[in-house]
Amino acid sequence: MAVSWQPSVLTNGRTGPAKQVNNNFVTSVDLTRRQKFHPVSIAGTKRAFAETDAEGGAAQFSRQNDTEIRASKIVECSDEHVEEVQPYRPGSTPSVTQHPLLSLRHPSYDLPKQLVENFAGLGVHVIYPWQSSCLMRSGVLSQAKNLVYTAPTGGGKSLVADVVLLKKVLQNPAKKALLVLPYVALVQEKTKWLRRLVEGLRREECSEGPGMNAQKSRSPEITVVSFYGGSKSKATWSDCDVAVCTIEKANMLVNSAIEEGTIGDLGIVVCDELHMLDDEHRGYIFELMLTKLMCLQLGIQVVGMSATLANPEVLADWLRAKFFVAKYRPIPIHEHLVYENTIYPSANSKEFLKTASQLTSSDPTQRPSQPTRIIEKSLYQELSNPLTNAVVALAAETAEQGYGALVFCNSRASSQAIACLIAKTLHHIPASAEVTERRIDVLASLQALPGGFEPCLSDTVPSGVGFHHAGLTIEERDIIAEAYDNGTLKVIVATCSLAAGINLPARRVILNSARMGRDMVGPAMLRQMRGRAGRKGKDEIGETFLCCQKIELEPVAELLEAELPAVMSCLTPEKRGIKRAILETISTRMISTYEGLQEYAQNSLLWHTAPNHKMVLDMLDAAIVSLLKDKLIEVTEYDTYAPTALGNAIVASGLTPEDGLFVHADLRQALSSFVMDSEMHLFYLFTPIPHQTQSFATTSEVAWPTFRSLLEQLDDPSLRALRLIGINPALVNQLANSGLDNLPERTEDELRTARIYRRVYSTFALRDICNETPINTISLKYNLPRGTIQNLAQTCHGFAAGMIKFCQRMATPISHCAPDQSRNHDESTIGPDAQLIGAGTPARPTITNSEASGFSMLAAVLEHMQSRLYAGARADLLEMAQVTFVKGRMARLLYENGFKSVRALSEADAKKDILPIMMGISGWKLKQIQRDVNRSAAEEGDAEAGDLYEMRKRKLEEKLLRKAEIMVRSAAVIYEREVLRTADFEE
């Protein structure tokens, strides 16, 4: 269904007679004026049966048109079971007069006035008692004592870390801070927050200390920089005071600081979401990084926090930290179980378990606890399933009352379907003129996205509903999240990724079953989702509704009862092993002796959680032997361990040893026979190894018929390149005909072959991205969501940078320092009696000169390709693609319209020259607007459709003009910089 901007003719007796106003255009403003609409608190507010009866109840509604259905009413059961909801009362928090330490101005905190004012400006006037107690734990603020703490979601953990981190940076001007977060969205959000917090703050004067010279040349203001894969920021470690990073970037920064000898500049490392240590894919890098810091013993303060840590004491023991557990949640949450259209209270999981077992029990003496509210059954076909009916009714009720609801679904498809249903039920609810305008803006922003947008959003956004999942592009997700955050949208239906990745609070969190895909979510994820309910500053209470089917009652109850799993090391042999860890420490020259490596192992979480230490030492020995065998490390003439050029390149590029070896084989092959007359070989080298892209081209997602037709369309040189890489078109043809999904992956060789085929499949998509094919077209071609394609492009950015580093390192000869000359941190352990596994192993022949120069050439070629990858454009457009908003297709269109250089663009008139080109690109959007308007005019007999079209067209123009002006300004800046650079060069 397409968007209909005028909120269709009323069908509900409450707001106006159905279809009686034909030919009279009714705007949402008119509706808002007519309607008596008083938002009240939802929970604990009874709605009389009489009201429902007067309107005939849901059962009596008949369908008026396809766009509208009515959400079922939710009615109270009886007076005695009405849930008493105690809203948050600010008075219940102790005052500063009673507890002076609740003010950040208190001398014990010794914080600059400006920082305290900045906190107040962001809504923090008084801190919570637990925050104060945690900060006042001895040594936390003053003597760099490490700290591990937990508090419920929304409990205010970040404030404690912010205070400790900023105090460290402000009072130790030579020191830097690392703040590590697991998701890019969180990194971006936190960077913005910290930048606001440090406004107007200056580092204290200081004349001594390492790194001071570098610091002095910089401004005394605090610089906060974010680092994450795919970020286009050119900032470096030395430019910043606070680096906000993803886990991988943080580990790479620490590695290079150790290697360069600047690790002493690091004063504090804050790790948010510390429970991620448990995550086999990414979390184990947390452990590598923290183990190095523990081992270095340089007094770097480590602060770790999480809402879901079952064993904080173990982690505190490992990190030699104080630990603090807070249970405080400023906004109380009221939890409910919803089953068969009935809402039961479940104040805690025990009560839920009781309710659940009573509901499923065949024992008549087991009477279920009394429900509080009943959701009326629906006669609409779409709402016949009680689970869907409940979810839709609860979400619609929240939105109707003017609050925000977050609905979690188990899949992308179901989140879209549920969003459409909720939108249909909210279709008749008028929004204010201002909100309507804002929703128009949201749609215009979506329509202006170069990567296109999910058309289904046109159906939901006008009713104040959005959806959010990884199939959408980042830009779509950002627009939806922002619109929800500022109240333009009232409901977001999301997959679980939203709970972990973005900080969006809601009055109500509604779980449409507790599954992610087919599996039950884990207890930690469940907490994250439910913890989104009721945020300080936004809501007075929070409510969660876990809606489930009968067959799910028991597993859901078990899930709620389940203890959070203890956070364990991922360095065990069944998970990631210890090989990468050992290679990193040797490659960064942090450790070069066996004793040093043993000490490293003793500083790992693995050591603290392993059932016996001998097992860890055996693992260490096995890892050393394996690294020697793979020629990633070698034994030097001084009987120490040193990295080979390959080991060094692997660590510098952020790869695992296994991926590094895979990539190395490909690169060596490229060096020996590179297919120069096609770009396919280069694109392949830039394509991330399949498991890195996770969702793109995993085994099951290679569509062999598509693969075959892609091969058929290739020119000879490209096909030659692929054959050289290892692709056999006959095998692809065979797989396409057989309908089989997978290549066998039983042996090492089979694994490698399967990886190559999957990687080449992704290469085709990457080639399309670089050749300016619109993301929509690529998405259709591979039958994959646009978000997945975009994710591939982004992963490629990080991977490409890694490949370039890899080649550069392979081109740099490695020298082995004698023990007394090295910058090792373990010098003291090197002695004549030092035990050395693998001693006597012949050293790997050093890399030959011709190989080194080959890698150097490859690095240069890859660097050129990297710019194309960033720009998403062909080589002839690279210059233009430096300009803000000028990427891929836009660069091509400008070029074709005569703007062939940055200079030409800088001299353009945004309105006269650029806007028409942009409107040309947006032609399909105008057509879509016209279609929508025509359709609603036909349906509603709307005489003023022409005005509506003009209004939406004007909006689009305004938006595009703003973009065009930014483009011209950006081109002028780039051109000026270029002129200055040339002038410098000529002088």
Q: Which residues bind ligand ATP (CB under 6 A)?
A: 123-124, 127-128, 131, 151, 153-159, 307, 531, 535-537
- Alpha carbon of residue 377 to chain centroid: 38
Nearest approach in angstroms of CB 502 to ligand ATP is 10
Which of 130/696 has CB closer to ligand ATP? 130
Which of 123/845 has CB closer to ligand ATP? 123
Contact between 493 and 409 under an 8 Å Cβ cutoff? The reply is: yes
Which of 250/675 has CB closer to ligand ATP? 250
Nearest approach in angstroms of CB 201 to ligand ATP is 18
Which of 536/691 has CB closer to ligand ATP? 536
Which of 124/581 has CB closer to ligand ATP? 124
Nearest approach in angstroms of CB 499 to ligand ATP is 9
Which of 535/809 has CB closer to ligand ATP? 535
User: What's the burial of 290, exposed, middle or buried (CB within 10 Å: 0-12/13-18/19+)?
Assistant: buried
Nearest approach in angstroms of CB 116 to ligand ATP is 12
Contact between 241 and 232 under an 8 Å Cβ cutoff? The reply is: no
The CA distance from 971 to 884, in Å, is: 8
Which of 154/229 has CB closer to ligand ATP? 154
The CA distance from 484 to 799, in Å, is: 33
Nearest approach in angstroms of CB 331 to ligand ATP is 9
Q: Look at residues 538, 527, 508 and name the one whose alpha carbon lies nearest to residue 407.
A: 508
Tell me the one-letter amino acid at 216: K
Which of 128/899 has CB closer to ligand ATP? 128
Residue 8, by phi and psi: left (phi above 0), alpha (psi -120 to 50) or beta?
A: left
Q: Look at residues 461, 460, 378, 471 and name the one whose alpha carbon lies nearest to residue 420.
A: 460
Structure letter (DSSP) for residue 320 = T
Nearest approach in angstroms of CB 149 to ligand ATP is 10
Residue 568 contacts by C-beta under 8 Å, 6 or more apart in sequence?
278, 605, 609
Which of 158/808 has CB closer to ligand ATP? 158
The CA distance from 480 to 342, in Å, is: 31
Nearest approach in angstroms of CB 886 to ligand ATP is 36
The CA distance from 745 to 442, in Å, is: 47
Which of 155/542 has CB closer to ligand ATP? 155
The CA distance from 804 to 144, in Å, is: 38
Nearest approach in angstroms of CB 243 to ligand ATP is 19
Nearest approach in angstroms of CB 756 to ligand ATP is 41
Contact between 259 and 241 under an 8 Å Cβ cutoff? The reply is: no
Which of 144/151 has CB closer to ligand ATP? 151
Output the residue with the shortest Cβ distance to ligand ATP: 156
The CA distance from 914 to 917, in Å, is: 5
For 978-982, the CB contacts below 8 A with 24+ separation are 978/902
Which of 156/643 has CB closer to ligand ATP? 156
Structure letter (DSSP) for residue 649 = H
Nearest approach in angstroms of CB 538 to ligand ATP is 8
Tally Cβ neighbours within 10 Å of residue 48. 10
Nearest approach in angstroms of CB 101 to ligand ATP is 12
Edge to edge, what strands does the sheet with 405-408 contain?
Answer: 74-76, 373-375, 342-345, 333-339, 542-548, 508-512, 405-408, 491-494, 465-468
Nearest approach in angstroms of CB 593 to ligand ATP is 41
Residue 236 to residues 239, 244, 256, 803, 965: CA-CA distances in angstroms? 5, 12, 11, 19, 30
The CA distance from 894 to 916, in Å, is: 11
Q: Look at residues 599, 629, 895, 636 and name the one whose alpha carbon lies nearest to residue 772.
A: 895
Nearest approach in angstroms of CB 671 to ligand ATP is 47
Nearest approach in angstroms of CB 202 to ligand ATP is 24
Which of 146/158 has CB closer to ligand ATP? 158
Token readout for 948 is 């509506």
Which of 527/969 has CB closer to ligand ATP? 527
Dihedral sign computed on CA atoms, order 864, 870, 876, 879: negative
Which of 158/773 has CB closer to ligand ATP? 158
Q: Look at residues 514, 534, 494 and name the one whose alpha carbon lies nearest to residue 356.
A: 514
The CA distance from 765 to 792, in Å, is: 8
User: What's the burial of 389, exposed, middle or buried (CB within 10 Å: 0-12/13-18/19+)?
Assistant: buried
Nearest approach in angstroms of CB 126 to ligand ATP is 6
Which of 325/943 has CB closer to ligand ATP? 325
The CA distance from 460 to 468, in Å, is: 12
Which of 501/660 has CB closer to ligand ATP? 501
Residue 686, by phi and psi: left (phi above 0), alpha (psi -120 to 50) or beta?
A: alpha
Structure letter (DSSP) for residue 545 = E
Contact between 689 and 662 under an 8 Å Cβ cutoff? The reply is: yes
Nearest approach in angstroms of CB 402 to ligand ATP is 20
Backbone phi and psi for residue 338, each to the nearest 5 degrees, phi listed first: -120, 125
Which of 128/895 has CB closer to ligand ATP? 128
Nearest approach in angstroms of CB 274 to ligand ATP is 11
Q: Look at residues 398, 370, 604, 581 and name the one whose alpha carbon lies nearest to residue 490.
A: 398
Q: Look at residues 497, 491, 484 and name the one whose alpha carbon lies nearest to residue 392.
A: 491
Nearest approach in angstroms of CB 330 to ligand ATP is 7
> Which single residue is written with the structure tokens 């959005």?
466
Residue 878 to residues 687, 795, 892, 985: CA-CA distances in angstroms? 20, 20, 10, 22
Structure letter (DSSP) for residue 912 = I
Return the H-helix or E-strand segment holding 69: none
